[in-house]
């Protein structure tokens, strides 16, 4: 599944990195601890988090993740958006809390 | 090939820049992607440690035909108890750093899991040197 399909099916808002919507998704990882993501996330994962600072992009980029979903309408800071656009790594936004969006992502990836 | 990067205290905006640069170089050299992934995890953690815990320092990377050796040399304050610091969950990070999602005490254990050799030397008041080696 591509990031674009995830956006369409779950009604996510694309905040940045729109050129990367054709990235291929392979699984999902959820954590707000950066070292946990660094140590355990896999290439192609969706990353669901509430962290909005630039280091999120550094980790997502180094791990070659597919996209980031920010929960509860959280907004990334300018530096984060800038790097997302530079690297074509999309940051998506949902109004839902982590538990609810996680359930939807799980059902979608396993359907 | 020898690469050098300077890191600065609390410079979180640039955290990962050295790791990203070394990753690109390893990819250009056609190093096995699975090996590159391991190097990147260890490198990033060491880079963040120097930014979050030390008064800045230097990262030296030497890429040879069959391995990469990375040395992160910081300017202090040093680690009083390395054995304690190496245990998962132990951290001296400030509340601000923890709020960013760092400081979970997973950094050094993450490094150890991903390298073939790890050597941490520290002198309180002088600094810490983390040397790690990953074989290709």
B101:A34 CB<8 A: yes
DSSP state of B13: G
- Between CA A29 and CA A36, with CA B135 as vertex, the angle to 5 degrees is 20
User: Where does the pLDDT of residue A66 fall: very low under 50, low under 70, confident under 90, or very high at 90 and above?
Assistant: very high
Residue B68, both tokens: 């990469």
Q: Supply the pLDDT for residue A26.
A: 98
Per-residue pLDDT tens over the stretch A33-49: 999 999 999 999 999 99
DSSP state of A23: P
A36:B104 CB<8 A: yes
**In chain A, % of residues over pLDDT 70:** 100
- The residue ranges of chain B whose pLDDT is under 50 are none
Q: Supply the pLDDT for residue A53.
A: 96
A58:B106 CB<8 A: no
A38:B110 CB<8 A: yes
Q: Supply the pLDDT for residue A29.
A: 98
User: Where does the pLDDT of residue A30 fall: very low under 50, low under 70, confident under 90, or very high at 90 and above?
Assistant: very high
The domains of chain A, with CATH numbers, are 3-109 (3.40.1390.20)
Q: Supply the pLDDT for residue A15.
A: 98
Which residues of chain A neighbour B19 with C-beta distances below 8 Å?
A: 58, 62
A38:B20 CB<8 A: no
Contact B18, B68 (CB under 8 A): no
Euclidean distance between CA atoms A107 and A102, whole angstroms:
9
Q: Which of A89, A90, A79 is nearest to A53 (CA)?
A: A79
Mean residue pLDDT across chain A:
97
SS3 state of residue B112: helix
A57, closest residue in chain B (CA to CA): B16
The domains of chain B, with CATH numbers, are 2-135 (3.30.565.10)
> Helices B33-53 and B17-28 meet at what angle, rounded to 10?
160
Residue B35, both tokens: 């090996």
**Integer angstrom CA distances of residue A29 from A25, B5, B13, B40, B43:** 11, 30, 23, 18, 21
Question: Can you name the residues that pair with B122 across neighbouring β-strands?
Answer: B128
Euclidean distance between CA atoms A106 and A66, whole angstroms:
15
Mean residue pLDDT across chain B:
96
Contact A80, A58 (CB under 8 A): no
Q: Supply the pLDDT for residue A71.
A: 98
- Kindly report the nearest CA distance between residue A81 and chain B, in angstroms: 13
Residues 64-93 of B with CB under 8 A from A: none
> Helices B107-114 and B33-53 meet at what angle, rounded to 10?
150
Residue B25, both tokens: 């170089």
Q: Supply the pLDDT for residue B42.
A: 97
pLDDT (mean) for A79-96: 97
Euclidean distance between CA atoms B97 and B94, whole angstroms:
5
Q: Which of B76, B85, B74 is nearest to B112 (CA)?
A: B85
């Amino acid at each position: 599944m591509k990031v674009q399909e995830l956006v369409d099916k779950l009604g996510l808002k694309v905040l940045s990195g729109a050129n990367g919507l054709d990235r291929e998704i392979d699984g999902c990882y959820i954590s707000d601890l950066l070292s946990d993501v660094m140590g355990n996330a896999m290439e192609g994962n969706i990353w669901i988090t509430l962290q909005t600072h630039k280091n999120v992009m550094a980790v997502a980029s180094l791990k070659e993740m597919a996209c980031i979903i920010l929960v509860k309408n959280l907004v990334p800071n300018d530096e984060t958006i800038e790097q997302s656009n530079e690297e074509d790594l999309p940051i998506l936004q949902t109004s839902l809390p982590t538990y609810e969006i996680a359930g939807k992502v799980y059902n979608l990836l396993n359907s | 090939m020898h690469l050098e990067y300077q890191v600065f205290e609390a410079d979180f905006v640039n955290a990962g820049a050295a790791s990203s640069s070394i990753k690109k170089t390893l990819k250009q050299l056609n190093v096995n992607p699975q090996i590159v992934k391991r190097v990147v995890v260890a490198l990033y953690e060491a880079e963040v440690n120097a930014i979050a815990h030390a008064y800045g320092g230097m990262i030296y990377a030497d890429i040879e035909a069959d391995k990469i050796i990375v040395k992160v040399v910081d300017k202090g304050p040093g680690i009083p108890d390395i054995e304690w610091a190496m245990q998962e969950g132990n951290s001296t990070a400030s509340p601000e750093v923890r709020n960013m999602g760092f400081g979970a005490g997973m950094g050094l254990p993450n490094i150890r899991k991903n390298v073939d050799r790890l050597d941490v030397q520290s002198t309180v008041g002088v600094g810490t040197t983390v040397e790690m080696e990953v074989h290709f």
